Amino acid sequence: MSFDDLRERMITEQIESRGVTDIKVLDAMRKVKRELYVSKEVANIAYSDTPLPIGSGQTISQPYIVARMTELLKVEKTNRVLEIGTGSGYQAAVLSHLASKVFSMERIRELRVQAQVNVEREGIKNVFIITGDGTIGLSQYAPFDRIIITAASPEIPKILLEELANNGIMIIPLGSISFQALVRVTKKDDQFFKEEFDSCTFVPLIGKYGFKI
């Protein structure tokens, strides 16, 4: 099967079948060539229903989790999004088709450099990738309408809550280092409302306000 065929099957069998129904999210997933965001050695299984290694001890999330987190984030076309944990750039690329601008932070320079190459290969112009500790935020571009953390955290970094705009939404995998739940935080009039969704397992969030390992 061609990559185009595999991508369509991924959407039908892995994402739609599990309840992700947002047409905008599904269309964004169709537009991003996942095979470009994994190493050549595993490109042939880029559309498998599993996380895949991308180097430096990090992984690209399984397609369903990417779609699920994106749907929960409720991105609108005028939104400015902050992503913590760029990885290979795949999640940022998906978000680029839904948002006005995507700012993405990656602590590992080698991954940031490769992610930049990846998004540029797809002609994406509204993703800006920065090397740094995502747990301390990105104050020079705050506030953000949406924030997505793609690594497991023991708690929600306070600074990121401060950088969330009023009526903004944050998605974060919250819990222990081995097991988490997707938590959505909505900010309204300086109050924060939390909702818990799927269980999940992410690599740990490392930084000043992440896991101490």
Instruction: Kindly report, residue by residue over 136-185, the tens digit of the pLDDT.
Output: 999 999 999 999 999 999 999 999 999 999 999 999 999 999 999 999 99
Cut 0.85: pTM above it: yes
Residue 212 domain flag: no
What is the rounded average pLDDT of the residues 191-202? Answer: 95
CATH number for the domain spanning 80: value is 3.40.50.150
Domain count, the chain: 1
Residue 121 has pLDDT above 90, yes or no: yes
> What is the residue range of 155's domain?
3-200
Element containing residue 104 per DSSP (H, E): strand 101-106
Tokens of 135: 């747990």
Q: Contact, 111 vs 129, CB < 8 A?
A: no
3-class SS of residue 123: coil
Q: What local confidence, expressed as pLDDT, does residue 5 receive?
A: 97
Tokens of 130: 């920065």
For residues 39 and 158, give the distance between their C-alpha atoms in angstroms, rounded to a whole number: 35
Residue 110 domain flag: yes
Residue 7 domain flag: yes
What is the rounded average pLDDT of the residues 36-48? Answer: 94
Residue 67 domain flag: yes
Catalytic residue numbers read: 61
Q: How confident is the model at residue 1 (pLDDT cuts 50, 70, 90)?
A: confident
Q: What local confidence, expressed as pLDDT, does residue 188 receive?
A: 95
Q: How confident is the model at residue 57 (pLDDT cuts 50, 70, 90)?
A: confident
Residue 208 domain flag: no
State residue 34 phi and psi, 5-degree precision: -60, -30
